[in-house]
Amino acid sequence: MRVPRVRVHRSATASRGTRLRPSAAGDDSESKSSSADTLNALDALLGTDPADDEDDDDDDEDEEAPIISVPLLWMQMPGQAQAQQQPGGSSVASALTGDATPGPGNVYAAITLGLPDRATKKQTERGVKGIELDFCIDTACTTNFILPQVAYGLDMQIVGTAPAGTGATGAIGGGQEMLLGTAKLGGKAAKEDVAAVTGLSAAVVPVPAPGTAGILGRSFLNCFDAVAFDWAPRTGTTSDGRMGDRSGAVIDFYQEYDWDAGAEDGLVTAPLRELACGLLAVDVTLNGVTLPALLDTGAPQTIVNRAAAKAAGIEIGSKAKAESDENSKSKNPFGGLMDAFGKGKEAAMADKGVMVMGAGGKPTRLDRVDGAGVDLRVVCEGDAAVSTLVGSMLVGELAAFQAGLGLKPASSDGGDDGEPGVILGLDALMSREEVVISTRPAPYGRPRMQL
C-alpha cells in the first residue's frame, strides 16, 4: 500500500498549544458536482464537471487553520428509505436530515473526498477531470477500499496489488490497488486552500459500504495526529440516546493535537491497544465486567458475543421477557389473555434480530436486546470509566471476535462458552459530546482516545 501524505497549504503553523475548533467550512454552499453509486449511473449523475465550475470567491478564510474541519455525512443503513441529502455531500447516497433523524444505531459516518486527478470515462473523452465521492470512516478496517462498480467507471490507475485486510466482519481479500491521487478533504464543502492528502490509494474490493463509494480505514486515519468527531449539539435526547438535529456534525483532522488541552476541556483519555490484525482495542466494562472491545466507527450498533452477554448477565431472545404480574391477572378476568398477548409481542421484539453478511459471504444472525438495562463504560486512564448509552445491543458471533480480538470461539453454533468480547460501535461513541481518536502506531504516535 502506498503511503499517502498530507499537504496543508495554510495551516503549517499548527501547534499542540491549541484546540481551536473552527466552524465547518462551506455550510452555505452545496456541492455543484456529484458522483454515482453504480457503474451504469456514474457518468449520468456527475452532471456539471467540477472543472467547469466558476471559482468561488475567497471569503471568510482563516489566516491560520490548525484544524481541518469538514462536515460529517450521515449515511443510511441498507433497506432504509431515501432521505434528503445533507449540503456538502455527493450523490453517492443521501444523508439523513429533515424528518429522518440521524441517531445512534441507524447511521454510518462518512465524509466527501474531492478527487481532482480522477475522472469518469465521459470526462476523459472531453479532457476534463474532477469528481467527488463519499467514503465511510471506519476505525475497524485496516486499509482503504473502493467498490468495483465505482472504480471501473473511472479512469483507473492501477499501481499494484493491495494485500488482504481485516474488518469487523473478518478478513477481507486483497485486490487491485487503485491510485486515487490527491484527495481534498470535504470536497467542495471545504475551503480550496486548506488541505489535501496526496498519494491516496484504495483496494478495489466489494466490501459492505452502505451508500458510499468505499471505506477509509486506518491507513487513511494514520495520516493525522488525531481525528475528532464532534457530533453536533444534542436536542431532544431520549432515554435510548437518540438525538435531534445532527446536521451540524463535523470531523476535525489535526496535524498536531494537544492531549493535555483536551483533558483541560474535560475529556478523559483511554489507551488503545494494537491488535495483531492491525486494528485497535479498548477495555470496556459491561454491567461491571471488564471486557476487551474492538473500536469500530464502521458499526452503527455495539455488538457483544454470547460469552460476553452471559458474563454480563444479559439475557437473549425469549429469555429476556419480563415475568407477568400474578396479582394483575387475579384482579382482571382477562388478565391472563392480555398477558399472553403481551408476552407474545415481547417475545417477537426480543427475538427479532438482524442478518449481517460476513466477509466470507456467509450470513450471520445477530439477536437484538434492549439497552435500557445495559451499563456500558469505557475504561480510561487513572481508573476512570466513562459511561456511554446504547438504545439496543446486538448479540452474536462475528469473525472479528476471533480474527480481530483473538478470542477463543464457542465450541458450538449458538454456544456461550467462548471468550467474551465487544465491538464498540458508533451508537456508544455518539452518546458522548466529542470523541478524539489517534490511530498512529509507534514510533509516529501512540494510539489513544479521548471522550
Backbone angles phi, psi at 399, to 5 degrees: -60, -25
Rounded-to-integer distance, Cα 198 and Cα 183, Å: 6
Answer whether 5-257 and 269-316+354-430 agree in fold: yes
Rounded-to-integer distance, Cα 25 and Cα 305, Å: 41
Q: Is pLDDT of 115 > 90?
A: yes
Rounded-to-integer distance, Cα 233 and Cα 192, Å: 27
Domain positions in the chain are: 5-257, 269-316+354-430
pTM for the model: 0.76
**What superfamily in CATH does domain 5-257 come from?**
Acid Proteases (2.40.70.10)
Q: Give the model's pLDDT for residue 195.
A: 62
pLDDT in tens, 139-171: 998 889 999 999 999 988 888 776 665 555 555
User: What is the mean pLDDT of the segment spanning 21-41?
Assistant: 37
Q: Is pLDDT of 406 > 90?
A: yes
Is the pLDDT higher at 5 or at 117?
117
* Architecture (CATH level 2) of domain 269-316+354-430: Beta Barrel (2.40)
**In terms of Cα–Cα distance, which of 408, 429, 405 is closest to 419?**
408
User: Could you tell me what percent of the chain has a pLDDT over 70?
Assistant: 62
Least confident span in 5-14, 40-49, 92-101, 108-117: 92-101
Answer for the pair 439, 447: CB distance below 8 angstroms, yes or no. yes
**At 4, is the pLDDT very low, low, confident or very high (cuts 50, 70, 90)?**
low
pLDDT in tens, 331-342: 455 444 444 433
With residue 106 as reference, give the H or E element that holds it. Answer: none
Is the pLDDT higher at 433 or at 242?
433
Rounded-to-integer distance, Cα 11 and Cα 108, Å: 29
Backbone dihedral region of 47: left (phi > 0), alpha (psi from -120 to 50 degrees) or beta?
left
